[in-house]
Every structure is written in structure tokens, then in C-alpha cells.
A and B are shown apart, each in its own frame.
Chain A
């Protein structure tokens, strides 16, 4: 079935940076596009970024130019480098596996809090 395990969340000051990681297991990592989806406290889900098998990357307008998604196929990991963080970026960040254009597998999430 596959599993995803996120790490790297925490408390960061506005303007700061944080790097999230997601370790994949139980499926052939190179066969799938991967995404990050976030959820602000008490709010709905928001798609953040996707990286295809080819390495092509796409971002939501709200994070474009500040966030960078990458993948290491040798380690079965996907990362999200977040710079110039704002209070509005405070959320639980989920790593997801994309299959048939749906977010099939979800990690447990990692909390990012941007506050002074």
C-alpha cells in the first residue's frame, strides 16, 4: 500500500526558513509524482506543490518564488524548502503520492508554525 513519513516541522519566525522532508516506503517511488498539501488550523486543504517523475515542478501562486520542492530518487524522499515564511504559511503540511490524478497516500503531517 505504501507509507509516507514527514519530518522537519517546527516553530520559525516570520521571514525565516524551514525544510520539510518526506520518506516514502512500500511502493516504487520513481513511478509516482509527489505533492505537498497543507491545512491551516481549523481550515480546509490547500494544494501547495507537485513534482513529477521527470523532476518538473509546479507551485501554487501563494508559495511561488518562496518554496522549492525536490526529490531524491536514490533515497525515496521528497523535500519542501520553505523560505520567506509568513504567518499565513502556518499549517499542517502533508506529503502525498499522486496516482490517477488523485492524492492516494497521505503522510501523518508535520506542523509548521510561523510566529515571533
Chain B
């Protein structure tokens, strides 16, 4: 399984919206409704932000939303805040109880 493709970095100003893409194949992202997104601050464990493409766990602000089209999933963060500046990873189920992660995207809040 090859890693999913994410942009290495994205940036936006406070209050703006940014979108992080995650491109896979029909064997993972395109084949299942099981894309999840994780936020990871330096030195900390990842935190689940989105699951099943567009569902948010309780406690995650509704500024975070997910979507998918074909083999590409997206995480959109609206109303950017300074504390959103960190790393984000996508992950997709790839069948047969196998998961594949993206390479990660560093979000900079300008």
C-alpha cells in the first residue's frame, strides 16, 4: 500500500478557510467511506478530527469539516485560528483490515 498524497504545506490568515487534500486510489479513498483526519501538535499524540469522511467526534469544533470526491478527500478548516497551526494527516481504510495514512500537511496560520 502506498501512502496517500497530501500537500506538504498549506497556509491561511486568521478567519480565512483552508482546504487540505488527500489523494489515494480506488482501492482506498475512492473505494470506502472510511476516510479520517488527525491533528497532531508537536510532541503530542494525534487526535481524531473527522471520521467516515465527514463526521466529527464530540468536542471537535464545527469549523472542521470533511468531504470526498472520487479518489480525493478533503479537510476544510474555516475561521482559522492560531491554535489550528500544526500538522494534519489523512487516513483511509484500504480493505482487509488494512489502513493507509497520508504523508502529512503542515498548516501555517499567517
Contacts and interface: CB of A to CB of B under 8 A. Distances in A.
Interface of A: 33, 35, 37, 44-47, 50, 52, 56, 58, 60-61, 94, 99-104, 106-109
Contacts of A50: 97-99
Given A45-B104, A103-B36, A103-B38, A56 B97 contact: yes
B31 interface: no
A52 B97 CA distance: 9
B103 interface: yes
Using C-beta atoms within 8 Å of the partner chain, give the interface range for chain B.
Answer: 20 to 34
A109 B97 contact: no
B46 A102 contact: no
A40 B100 CA distance: 15
Interface of B: 1, 3, 32, 34, 36, 38, 40, 45-48, 51-52, 55, 57, 89, 91, 93, 96-104
A106 B46 contact: yes
B47 A106 contact: yes
